[in-house]
Amino acid sequence: MPDAQPHSPILRLALPSPLRRLFDYRAPTGVPRGALQPGVRLRVPFGRREVVGVLVELSDHSEVPADKLKAALELLDQRPPLPASLFKLCLWTAQYYQHSLGDTLSWALPVLLRQGEPAEARQERFWHAAPDVRLDDPRLARAPRQKQALQTLAQHPHGVAHQLLGKLQINKDSLDLLLEKGLVRVEVRRHRPAEHHGGWLAQPELPLNAEQRAAAEAVHAGFGRFGAYLLAGVTGSGKTEVYLQLIRQTLEAGKQALVLIPEINLGPQTLERFARRFNARIALLHSNVNDRERLDAWLAARDGEADIVIGTRSALFTPLKHPGLIIVDEEHDASYKQQEGLRYHARDLALVRARQEDVPILLGSATPSLESLQNAYAGRYALLKLTQRAGGARQPRFLRLDVKSRPLDSGISGPMQQAIGQTLEAGQQVLVFLNRRGFAPTLLCHDCGWISQCPRCDARMTVHQRSGELRCHHCGHAQRPPSNCPDCGKVDLRPIGAGTERAEERLRILFPEYPVLRIDRDSTSRKGAMDQLFGTIQRGHPCILVGTQMLAKGHHFPRVTLVAILDADGGLFSADFRASERMAQLIVQVAGRAGRAEEPGKVIIQTHLADHPLLVQLTEQGYFAFAEQALSERRAAGLPPFTHLALLRAEAHKPGQAEGFLDEACTEADRLLAELQLGSIELLGPVPAPMERRAGRYRAQLLLQGNARAPLHRLMNAWLPILEHLPGGRAVRWSLDVDPIDLF
Ligand code: ADP
Ligand code: ZN
Ligand code: ZN
């Protein structure tokens, strides 16, 4: 049957829906075909809601019967808001992570664009004095405030932006009255951030040392085309200085720089350093930026009106008019991987983007991920090393302290206590690292063995003494601790093990003359608390800092000369194959915060596994020796980066439902493997998740492991559309994690 409306094309839209398909609509009435360019947004009816979709393609044909096909309501853009290059990146992302394109665009676009806000730089109101106004106008005789406002406007022949009225002490009500009288006029025009003029540097650069210079020159030589560089520089070796000088060269070449940093590093310290150095327009994109500011920054970057874009994970999706250089700082940081919805890895996507846009990318870290190191060893990235601390400080010394059969006193052994005492007496600071918040990881009844199990998870609740609670760190459940054992009624309930609260309490008793400062999520949640703590530390008096991995990032503590690591064993025992890598990165990062030229640091690691080969490598030969050892273990075990993983997770309210769904999924995968003749892929599972019940749901998982990416993706491309329709999936929440970074 011929199409009823041969001239009206079918619009195929990506909508914010988890379904991995496009949705067909008719064009809104009265919109000419020429206005329907791929990439423009349209408002459409979707179920009982209205949503904003992105036009992907036009078609002359739809599977949907003509009488069921709905019309789009409104065309929102005259031109596509998203440049083609970024649209291409989103397509790639959706395909690689096996995610719906519509939902991928939702993660990638600023929230206001998803809601239909115009994608043009903000129009701003400017106030002008009307031509030929006179300050002695009789209508102003008894209106001194209006007269003053008019006088101020008259001094600004180009008008005053509405935003600046407050700064100039102009009263808005007075302006409205003046407007009624025709004495002022308003003009709406585009707000333009100040154009760049003069030199790019607001502050002189430091002369680079030989290693820094070699690194910067290598990257500079690669400007103008794709190339990946791994800057492996010990903490304090001046990686940031290398970034800054490369950014200056990028600006001089008339290009923009995109800098990604981990969430936690986006403190004022880092930002100030960039802002102080450059006389340039910097766009910031991080979680504390409001929606309007985010859109403005995004538009400024897209339109070439921001020179430097700095942001956390999702800033990766900021369009750039003249891309010149991408930098990923602390590239090993786990916060680059999004753990919900679209499970992308911003570092990995940054590489894809650099290749697509044909620009160099610089990954920096003191403790590069094993993935990136392997890429460097395989010749895919150029490895640039900075081995010396820039300020002349020496590297800390590492000691393993065997605590087998030594009593631990709130987690602190006798020799560790002595070392802490000696350091304090010498007038120096101590950093005690324990990656466990709260007072104790569990509460135990000494009479019957009852433990404080979370009612919603297969996990123990942590004792938080300060807040007088038992708290589950997995689902957030909190309750008052019982005064008697819920099972046997006796009162001998004891906290077992030590968290930061307990270590803090014990250290206060052991060293009463010295301040003990705890730095973890609980102690720094109050606004300004962190700054206050750091202020105290910077003053330099002897004190003890106790904290979690928050201590590993961003800050430097030059007066710390002893780093006490209370527990390294978790990283060596864990079932998670990445645990040892994370432990090594944490130890090295924490250690790197300490010491300066005159007072080299010492790092003491308490462990029951003092002879563990990974720990021996790390402490005696350093991170790279550790990494080589760990890589050879991964290779032998067939683990990433030598194989590729995808994890299908499922959870449901009733036991067995998640596994039921995964069983069906597994059968389908087996069938496809045979049909597509894909050899080298293994299906591992389904198995219950390591923590089977979490927040009241039962969880299970199925792991796919392949020697190469391509066959794994061929399987997933065929598999996912089937999974969407499996009957077992109805009662189940499931998600696919391509390149998972943890297997929980
Ligand atoms: P990283 O980013 O590797 O941790 P930074 O760039 O923060 O290192 O540098 C550490 C310290 O050394 C900073 O105080 C920085 O000002 C200083 N620094 C960096 N490069 C030089 C240099 N070439 N000469 C002197 N000081 C330097
Ligand atoms: Zn009991
Ligand atoms: Zn819980």
The atom of ligand 1 lying closest to the CA of 386 is: 3
How does strand 602-607 pair with strand 560-565? Answer: parallel
The atom of ligand 1 lying closest to the CA of 233 is: 3
Please name every residue paired with 398 in a beta bridge, in sequence order, or none if there are none. 603
Average pLDDT of the chain is 90
Determine whether the annotation assigns residue 445 to a binding site. Answer: yes
What spacing in Å lies between the alpha carbon of 573 and ligand 2's midpoint?
29
- Ligand of minimum distance to the alpha carbon of 491: 2
DSSP state string for 240-290: HHHHHHHHHHHHHTT-EEEEE--GGG-SHHHHHHHHHHB-S-EEEESTTS-
Structural element, H or E, at residue 295: helix 291-302
Judged by average pLDDT, the poorest of 182-186, 329-333, 537-541, 628-632 is 537-541
What's the 3-state SS for 530-577? HHHHHHHHHHCCCCEEEECHHHHCCCCECCEEEEEECCCCHHHHCCCC
What spacing in Å lies between the alpha carbon of 535 and ligand 1's midpoint?
21
Reported confidence tier of residue 168, pLDDT bands at 50, 70, 90: confident
* Residues whose beta carbons lie less than 5 angstroms from ion ligand 2: 445, 447-448, 450, 485, 487-488
The atom of ligand 1 lying closest to the CA of 212 is: 23
- Ligand of minimum distance to the alpha carbon of 488: 2
CA distance 695 to 634: 32
Determine whether the annotation assigns residue 485 to a binding site. Answer: yes
Determine whether the annotation assigns residue 454 to a binding site. Answer: yes
357-361, 590-594, 597-601 — most confident range = 357-361
614-644 burial: b if 16+ Cβ within 10 Å, else e: bbbbbbeebbbebbbbbbeebeeeebbbebb
The atom of ligand 1 lying closest to the CA of 592 is: 4
CA distance 315 to 550: 22
| Amino acid type, 106 | S
Q: Which residues line ligand 1 (CB under 6 A)?
A: 206-209, 212, 233, 235-241, 390-391
What spacing in Å lies between the alpha carbon of 488 and ligand 2's midpoint?
4
* Cα 152 from chain centre: 46
What spacing in Å lies between the alpha carbon of 158 and ligand 2's midpoint?
79
Look up residue 378 and give its two tokens. Answer: 């395989």
Ligand 1, atom 19, lies closest to the CA of 238
- Ligand of minimum distance to the alpha carbon of 449: 2
Positive/negative CA dihedral, 725, 727, 730, 731: negative
What spacing in Å lies between the alpha carbon of 521 and ligand 2's midpoint?
31
Per-residue pLDDT, 2: 44
Per-residue pLDDT, 1: 42
Q: Please give the CATH topology (third level) of the domain spanning 644-738.
A: Alpha-Beta Plaits (3.30.70)
Per-residue pLDDT, 598: 67
Mean pLDDT of 666-681: 92
Reported confidence tier of residue 265, pLDDT bands at 50, 70, 90: low
Reported confidence tier of residue 3, pLDDT bands at 50, 70, 90: very low
Please name every residue paired with 445 in a beta bridge, in sequence order, or none if there are none. 493
| Amino acid type, 236 | G
What spacing in Å lies between the alpha carbon of 491 and ligand 2's midpoint?
8
Mean pLDDT of 439-465: 93
Phi, psi of 404 (to 5 degrees): -55, 130
**Contacts from 401-409 at CB under 8 Å and sequence distance 24+?**
401/604, 401/605, 401/606, 401/607, 401/610, 402/607, 402/608, 402/610, 403/606, 403/607, 403/608, 404/608, 404/610, 408/498, 408/606, 409/506
- For the segment(s) 393-440+497-635, the CATH number from 3.40.50.300, 3.30.300.30, 3.40.640.10, 3.90.1150.10 is 3.40.50.300
Per-residue pLDDT, 108: 92
In this structure, are residues 572 and 366 in contact, taking their beta carbons and an 8 Å threshold? no
- Ligand of minimum distance to the alpha carbon of 451: 2
Selected residue with higher pLDDT from 744 and 564? 564
Q: Is the pLDDT of residue 122 over 70?
A: no
**C-alpha angle 556-562-563 in degrees, rounded to nearest 5:** 70
Of 538, 446, 440, 558, nearest to 495 by C-alpha is 440
Q: Where are the domains of the chain?
A: 10-114, 123-190, 210-391, 393-440+497-635, 644-738
Reported confidence tier of residue 30, pLDDT bands at 50, 70, 90: confident
- Ligand of minimum distance to the alpha carbon of 261: 1
Selected residue with higher pLDDT from 533 and 742? 742
The atom of ligand 1 lying closest to the CA of 209 is: 23
CA distance 78 to 15: 19
Determine whether the annotation assigns residue 457 to a binding site. Answer: yes
Residues in CB range of 286: below 8 A, 6 or more apart: 263, 266, 311, 312, 315
Selected residue with higher pLDDT from 649 and 389? 649
The domain 210-391: what is its CATH number?
Answer: 3.40.50.300
- Ligand of minimum distance to the alpha carbon of 244: 1
The atom of ligand 1 lying closest to the CA of 234 is: 3
Say which CATH superfamily domain 10-114 falls into. PriA, 3(prime) DNA-binding domain (3.40.1440.60)
* Residues whose beta carbons lie less than 5 angstroms from ion ligand 3: 454, 456-457, 472, 474-475, 477
Ligand 1, atom 15, lies closest to the CA of 238
The atom of ligand 1 lying closest to the CA of 366 is: 3
Look up residue 231 and give its two tokens. Answer: 């800057």
What spacing in Å lies between the alpha carbon of 276 and ligand 1's midpoint?
15
SS3 26: strand
Cis peptide before 16 (omega within 30 of 0): no
In this structure, are residues 297 and 122 in contact, taking their beta carbons and an 8 Å threshold? no
What spacing in Å lies between the alpha carbon of 454 and ligand 3's midpoint?
5
What spacing in Å lies between the alpha carbon of 450 and ligand 3's midpoint?
17
CA distance 511 to 410: 14
Determine whether the annotation assigns residue 448 to a binding site. Answer: yes
Q: 10-114 and 210-391 share one CATH topology?
A: no
SS3 704: strand
| Candidate from 205, 211, 213, 241 with most ligand 1 atoms within 8 A of CB, to mutate | 241
Ligand 1, atom 14, lies closest to the CA of 391
Q: Is the pLDDT of residue 115 over 80?
A: yes
CA distance 383 to 20: 39
What spacing in Å lies between the alpha carbon of 389 and ligand 1's midpoint?
8
